[in-house]
Amino acid sequence: MAEVTLIKAINDALATEMTRDPSVCVLGEDVGLDGGVFRATEGLLKRFGPGRVVDTPLNEVGIVGMSIGMAMNGLRPVAEIEFSDFIYPAFDQIVSEMSKMRYRSAGQFTAAVVLRAPSGGGVRGGHYHSQSPEAYYIHTAGLVVVMPSTPADAKGLLSSAIRGEDPVIFLEPKALYRTVKGEVPQGEYLVPLGVGRIVRPGDDLTLIAWGAMVPVAEKAAAAAASEGVGVEIIDPRTLWPLDIEMIESSVRRTGRAVVLHEAPRTCGFGAEISALIQERCFLHLKAPVGRVTGFDTPFPYALEKSYLPDPERTLRAIRASMAF
């Protein structure tokens, strides 16, 4: 296995799936000659040609609308939105059309579109390049929402998303694009959607984190271990459908849970996970479910480090749960 960055793993998944299936095509702003704003599609135009790697105008509504039509006519479009913050002009196409196509046509049509979008902060991108919008899409029935945290998961989950029959919002934590490396299997490689990953085993507290917060969780868990607290970290990988059975099994054993995400706190996905734990594990809980999140403000350019959850804030939440 080769050791590559997360962005290289995404490029590998696209090339592998385009080689396997001639109906897979890539479209988006600057995905051709420039290889995308983060170079995720680098080299694909030369390898697969302009018929399958399509540079589009700056028009997110058009990108998503065209992708839906392509999918309904038998293609497998993988569309790149340069930043997840730019996806909102296409919000109606996503939540009213793409998500409902299979249901409203009683299965006569599908919209098997994968929308790739760099998500989250940590790269000093400011207000319009740093948002974490996963909750909007998890709230929309009919969409699968994925966020990997390792190169191997990025390749395996993206390949599974491309092969599926449901529309997928594939959120890529851009802070990890070139800051994490890992071994990635060569050739075809699949990670099933809807199955979480135990990042680190532990017996005292369950810490649920995804995307760029997984490395933060690992640092906090290491610090907690030095204080004698065993933290089990769970990365859901697919945010919806959620592997709630894995979380439930862990919390029933540890009796304590903290949810960590960088999106704002109110109505963030941590609130839903907290409610599910409450419903399923109430009699096993030794402390209230804790949350460590971004703040209920626009993403602040100058105060990015203060906004984003860090290992110290996470460790404080772990200590509070253990002391309850």
Phi, psi of 258 (to 5 degrees): -135, 135
What whole-number distance in Å separates Cα of residue 286 and Cα of residue 254?
A: 9
Catalytic residue, candidates 129, 139, 261, 284? 129
Pairing between β-strand 2-5 and β-strand 181-184 as defined by DSSP bridges: antiparallel
Cα–Cα distance, 68 to 111 (Å, whole number): 6
- 284 tagged catalytic: no
Do 184 and 214 contact (CB within 8 A), yes or no? no
Report the first-to-last Cα separation within the chain, whole angstroms. 45
* 143 within 8 A of 94, measured Cβ to Cβ: yes
Q: Which of 144, 151, 67, 82 is nearest to 117 (CA)?
A: 82
- Helical H segments across 167-268, by residue range: 213-226, 244-254
- The answer to whether residues 94 and 68 touch, using CB atoms and an 8 Å cutoff, is no
User: Measured between alpha carbons, how far is 314 from 324 in angstroms, rounded to an integer?
Assistant: 16
> Which residues have C-beta within 8 Å of that of residue 235, sequence separation ≥ 6?
149, 153, 196, 197, 199, 208, 209, 210, 214
CB 123 within 8 A of CB 175: yes
- Cα dist. 212→46, 78, 103, 172, 262 in Å? 31, 23, 33, 9, 8
Q: Which amino acid is at 189?
A: Y
Distance CA 71, CA 141 (A): 19
User: Which residues are catalytic, by number?
Assistant: 129
